[in-house]
Amino acid sequence: MKNKLSFKTYLVLSLILVSIIPIIAVGTLSLKYMTEKTTQNIETDNQLLANAVGWEIRGHFQQAKAVVEQLAIFLSGHDHDDDQISGLLTDTVDQFEYFESIYLLNSNGHIEKVGLPYNRISMAEEYIGLDMSHTDYYRQVNEFHKPTWSNAYLSHITGKLSLTLTVPVNDEILVTYFSIEHLADRIQQIQTGGNLIAMLVDTDGILIFHPDDTKSKEKISLRNLTPVQAGLAGNEGTYKYKWQQVEYIGSVAMIPDTGWLLIVSQTTKNAYASIRQMQKIFTAGIGIAAVIALLLAIALSTRLIEPLRELQASTRTIASGNYETQINSGPYFETEELASSFENMAEAVRMREQEREKLLKTLGEQNEELESIIYASSHDLRSPLVNIHGFSGELEEDCRIMIDMLKDVHIEPEYESQLKTILNEDIPSAIGFIKTSTSKLDALQRGLLKLCRLGREDVNISALNMNKLMDEVIDSMQHQVNQLNANVVVDELPGCYGDRDKINQVFSNLVDNALKYRNPDIKPEIKITGCIKDDRSVYKIADNGIGINPDYHTKVFDVFHQLNPDHKIGGEGLGLTIVKRILDKLEGSINIESEQKKGSVFSVSLPAVSNRTKICS
Amino acid sequence: MGMNYKNFIMSLLAAMSIFLFAGGCSKKKPVKIGFIGGITGRVADLGIEGRDGVILAVEQANRAGGINGREIMLIIKDDKQDPQTARNVVQELIDEDVSAIIGHMTSSMSMVGVPVINENKVLMISPTTSTNDLTGIDDYFFRVYPYSAQTSRILAEHIYKKMGHNTVFVVYDITNKAFTQSAYDYFKQAFEGYGGKIVGDLTFTSGPQVMFSDIAKQVKLKNPDCLYLLANAMDTAMLCQQLSKSEHNIQVVTSDWSATDEVIQYGGKSVEGMFFYHSIDKFSDSPKYLEFKKDFIERFSSKPTFASIHSYDCARILITALKINQDPLLLPETIKSIKTFQGLQSQIEFDEYGDVIREHFPFRINNGIFESIK
């Protein structure tokens, strides 16, 4: 009972769950919706910026490419002298600040003409004649014969990331070196403010542009990032990734002509700030709701349980015997019905209790009457029995006198034989039977009397030293033990509570039975042991006698039942009946383990003495 | 509801405790490793290549479970090839409690950084520092790159004995003076020891304003058998172009520093026949190297250079040592106790000072590609 869940607790938990679960469900769905909505918004924002930046980059490249192509067309369509060409190249570099330098290579890949910013014009001679035929851009333009953009590389002049645009001009090649700085400036102008950052990545996955200028210069490879891998594989889209210990969400778009990637990102911290806010509100809401639900649940459950508690108190009163108690029905229909049922039950119990008491009284009176009858009968039967026994004795004596007298009297021979038979055999035999029967009747009557007296005698309970008591029992039977050469062993026995005399009687009867119902072919062995189990002292009396058929294990306790009535072992068949009656009165019990010819073990259980109790001597 | 209510609540609390405890346990503190190199500016190619080698090693290690279950956090700093910046970023990394530092990438920057790491007892392992000024010192500085004296001696012997050149003119860039000056001094000592003669030397400071045509003229004036050039790939290509323009055919010998694809791209035919001793074998068929090369190209879209390879080896050595003993203070002893590590191409064996002796691989440029000389 102690381990069962309390109804009140169950009620409280149920009420909390009923209130919390809908909140969790609704909140979870709301969060999911918000997350999807936010992700969509991020994609939209990213895409808008990507389009703007993409157009800007494209425009930038197209403008630069247009200038170079114009230059190429101009150079190819006219005959110009060297100075004109050099002047034109230098003017172009000066005019468009995103050009670092321009070179015109001959068909062998050697630099023929140079265009440099005016502050470096003195270096022009240094470059003329240089062999650039091994460069990637020279090889590519020779292969594809069309304007070709390079990937980003570290400029040996500026130390910054640059790129080249190579344009074929008849059998010559125009190579223009671009600084990415101006491109970066344009991108910066577009994405002022906000949390979005735009990054430019070339076809090798190298970071060309980042709002943090330092990162732009470090030639960082981003090939391991998911959006870069996706973009290089031709897949635009929005992806989450982690870079330099920070988590981002970014959209990747491809820049036409160059094949570069534009990645517009923001940290997931910024992106999902609103969702995190909502999560916090949601969690706080759950917490507050749980507290409120708990308080309300406790209050409500207390109110609901109160009628049950009152009902419980009322039933206790009824159980204690007060059947007239008024049961409080409480404010609810169900508790009212329950109270009514309890009242009906109390009335039924009261009536049955009355009947029981009446029956008990009648039974008690009848038992008393029966015991009185038995007692009176036993007592009153005693005189007639004594008379029968006495007069049987006188008859026996008279027979002997008549036999003596007949020795001196002449009897007709035809009557002498018959007379001798009557006097010597018939009459003594009849008297013998009468005497035996009266003795038996006397023993039975004594036994019944003893049985009746048991019901009337007072019981004196005390703590008993069982080893001492057992010694007394054995001593009283010592003669019998010696005569039968029996071996009686008594172990150390625990104490018990009981009436000394009656317990003595119990064990005397059991030891007596063990000696009486011995196996005549072997030496009788009787062992008495004891132990404590569950606050009970259990004593076992084991013998190696003739044993008891299991079919008779309960019958042996019946009045006048004898195990072997034909073997004339003796006794009235009341020994075990008396043992059981005594044990019933002393809160004891007896149990038999036995089979025919295999001995018997009688187990007697009595209340054990606690260790602190002093054993009475 | 015949449930044991107390047992239910206790089980729920126990489950929550386990969950929280496991959650807490699963977030182990990362192991911080620093990298320093010049990753911006004109000569950032070395720093960038070195950085990328370390990034690859760290990413691979983290995918394989990190260092005993702890993620490796790589903190990258740019020394901008500037001494004050170098000093500052070393201190920044130390303040961030890094277990060790990979770097610097140049001798001049290492000369600045080493006193700082020694004072703070933080191990620094350099992929490409060759200066002899850091050789034979029992301190917190380690390197996987052979020191100048080794390379210079081998080169001097080769030029004099195998190539048969008796006179050499030396041109070197003093923006990385700790390397170039040291390399020149040991080369001169060795070459003159063999019987050769240094007919002249010239320094320059790398930058867009350098007039390589003037340098070429000065070299031509001295008419040496051989030009020993200590400069980066772009400057090497430019000087060779100027020599070619002036039709001065001269054997050019250079160093690891300029042995990249860039020197061929920008040098064209003018770098044909250029000779150098490389600290790596560009054509190694070591399975580890080939796998690394494949992974590097896939990750960075470019071929690994000697800087990338040495940086990768540095990172692997650190990771191996930290797996054995995560105490950063004991790293020098841990590395010395292990002593020999398997690099991408060969074994790397540290002496008691943290220096190494490495094999040198002779290469030259032939028909526009690098060719190994067996």
Structural contact between residues B102 and B125, judged by C-beta atoms closer than 8 angstroms? yes
User: Which of B40, B269, B301 faces A221 most closely, judged by CB atoms?
Assistant: B301
Task: Provide the shortest C-alpha distance from residue A33 to chain B (in Å).
Answer: 28
- Compute the distance between CA of residue A13 and CA of residue A9 in angstroms, rounded to an integer: 6
How far is CA A83 from its chain centroid? 95
Residue with tokens 């011995």: A518
Please give the pLDDT value at position B320. 96
CB atoms inside a 10 Å sphere around CB B295: 16
Residue A50 CA: distances (Å) to CA of A41, A64, A130, A247, A265: 14, 21, 40, 20, 10
Lowest pLDDT segment from A11-15, A106-110, A559-563, B345-349: A559-563
Strand bridging mode A487-490 / A525-533: parallel
User: Checking DSSP bridges between strand A153-154 and strand B123-126, what pairing results, if any?
Assistant: unpaired
What average pLDDT does the segment B187-212 reach? 94
Name the band, by pLDDT with cuts 50, 70 and 90, for residue B4.
Answer: low
Compute the average pLDDT of residues A519-523: 92
The nearest CA of chain A is from the CA of B293 a distance in Å of: 16
Q: Which is nearest to A528 in space by CA: A559, A503, A550? A: A503
Could you tell me the strand order of the sheet in which B369-372 lies? B197-204, B167-173, B226-230, B251-254, B275-278, B361-366, B369-372
Q: Give the Cα separation of A340 and A501 in Å (integer).
A: 54
Count of Cβ atoms closer than 10 Å to residue B221 Cβ: 11
- Dihedral sign computed on CA atoms, order A165, A166, A168, A172: positive
Which range (A454-468, B100-114, B224-238) has the least confidence?
A454-468
Identify the pLDDT of residue B33: 97
Confidence of residue B262 (pLDDT cuts 50, 70, 90): confident
A496: enclosing H helix or E strand = strand A496-499
Q: Which two tokens stand for residue A372?
A: 């009185």
Bridge partners (DSSP) listed for residue A148: A166
Output the pLDDT for position B9: 56
Count Cα neighbours of B162 within 13 Å in the Cβ-side half-sphere. Answer: 11
* B226 close to B163: Cβ distance less than 8 angstroms: yes
Residues of B in contact with A219 (CB under 8 A): 39, 44, 48
- Look at residue A497 in the predicted model and tell me its pLDDT: 94
* CA–CA distance, A90 with A612 (Å, rounded to integer): 120
pLDDT digits (tens, 9 = 90+) for A10-38: 888 888 788 888 888 888 888 888 888 88
Banded model confidence at residue A563, pLDDT cuts 50, 70, 90: low
Query: Are the C-beta atoms of B279 and B306 separated by less than 8 Å?
Result: yes
pLDDT digits (tens, 9 = 90+) for B146-156: 988 889 999 99
The confidence score (pLDDT) of residue B20 equals: 47
Alpha carbon of B46: minimum distance to chain A alpha carbons (Å): 12
Average pLDDT for A216-245 = 91
* Interface touch A218/B368, C-beta < 8 Å: no
Q: Is B173 exposed, middle or buried (0-12, 13-18, 19+ CB in 10 A)?
A: buried
CB within 8 A of A172, min separation 6: which ones?
Answer: A75, A104, A105, A106, A107, A112
φ, ψ for residue A558, nearest 5 deg = -75, 155
Supply the mean pLDDT for chain B: 90
Q: What is the pTM of this model?
A: 0.66
Residues of A in contact with B62 (CB under 8 A): none
Report pLDDT for A16. Answer: 79
Give the tokens for residue B162.
């195998």
Structure tokens at B294: 């494949």
d(Cα B254, Cα B294) in Å, to the nearest integer?
28
- Report how far apart, in Å, the C-alpha atoms of B81 and of each of A263, B113, B176 are: 31, 12, 8
Longest dimension (CA), chain B: 107
| pLDDT score at A57 | 80
Q: Coil, strand, or helix at residue B348?
A: strand
Whether the CB of A2 is below 8 Å from some CB of chain B: the reply is no
Judged by CB atoms closer than 8 Å, whether chains meet at B73 and A10 is answered as: no
Q: How many residues does chain A have?
A: 617
Q: What is the pLDDT of residue A82?
A: 73
φ/ψ (deg, to 5) at A425: -120, -60
Burial A345-384 (b: 16+ CB within 10 A, else e): ebeeeeeeeeeeeeeeeeeeeeeeeebeebbeebeebeee
Partners of B48 on chain A (C-beta within 8 Å) are: 154, 218-219
For the cut 50, the answer to whether the pLDDT of residue B3 exceeds it is: no
Q: How far is B65 from chain A, CA to nearest CA, in Å?
A: 17
> Would the CB atoms of B265 and A205 count as touching at under 8 Å?
no
Q: What are the angstrom distances between the C-alpha of A11 and each of A15, A17, A289, A426, B215? A: 6, 10, 17, 93, 96
What is the DSSP code (8-state) at residue B175?
Answer: G
Residue of A nearest to B269 (CA): A131
Q: Answer whether A214 sits within 8 Å of B299, measured CB to CB.
A: no
Flag whether residue B30 sits within 8 Å of chain A, measured between CB atoms: no
What pLDDT does residue A611 have?
53
Residue A554: strand, helix, or coil: coil
Task: Identify the pLDDT of residue A49.
Answer: 78
The Cα A174–Cα A74 span in angstroms is 12
pLDDT value for A472: 95
Which helix (H) or strand (E) segment holds residue A449: the answer is helix A427-456
Tokens coding A277: 């806010």
From the list A134, A221, A245, the residue facing B368 with the nearest CB is A134
What pLDDT was estimated at residue B236?
94
- DSSP for A87-100 reads HHHHHHHHHSTTEE
Give dist(CA B299, CA B308) in Å, integer: 12
In chain B, the N- to C-terminal Cα span, in Å, equals 87
Axis crossing angle, helix A82-95 with helix A7-77, rounded to the nearest 10: 150
Helix/strand/coil for B345: coil
pLDDT value, residue A503: 95
- CB-CB contact of A105 with A175 (8 Å): yes
pLDDT at residue B333 greater than cutoff 60? yes
Residue A134 neighbours by CB distance under 10 Å:
20
| Res A249 pLDDT > 70 | yes
Please name the residues in contact with A276: beta carbons below 8 A apart, sequence gap of 6 or more: none
Bridge partners, residue A113, by sequence: A104
3-state secondary structure of B292: helix
Strand duo A237-243 + A246-254: pairing = antiparallel
Tell the residue number behind the tokens 């195990």, with chain if given: A563
pLDDT per residue as tens digits for the range B52-96: 999 999 999 999 999 999 999 999 999 999 999 999 999 999 999
Comparing CA positions, the residue from A525, A53, A15 lying closest to residue A295 is A15
Q: Which pLDDT does position B332 carry in this prediction?
A: 95
* E strand spans, B233-314: 251-254, 275-278
Distances (CA, A) of A320 to A111, A129, A339, A359, A419: 120, 123, 18, 21, 80
Across chain A, mean pLDDT equals 85
Closest-CA distance of chain B to residue A574, Å: 51
Cβ atoms of A538 and A531 within 8 Å: the answer is yes
State the helix-helix crossing angle for A273-319 and A7-77, rounded to 10 degrees: 170
B157-172 residue pLDDT tens? 999 999 999 999 999 9
pLDDT at B300: 94
Residue A447 pLDDT exceeds 50? yes
pLDDT in tens, A255-291: 877 788 999 898 988 888 888 888 888 888 878 877 8
User: How many residue contacts between A and B have a Cβ separation below 8 Å?
Assistant: 100
Examine the pLDDT at A237 and tell me if it is beyond 90.
no
Q: How many CB atoms are closer than 10 A to CB B80? A: 19
Residue B266 and residue A157: Cβ atoms within 8 Å?
no
What does the pLDDT read at residue A616? 39
What tens digit of pLDDT does each residue of A306-341 get? 888 888 888 888 888 887 777 777 777 887 888 888
Mean of pLDDT values over A361-365 = 86
Pairing of strands B369-372, B361-366: antiparallel
Q: What is the mean pLDDT of residues B223-243?
A: 93
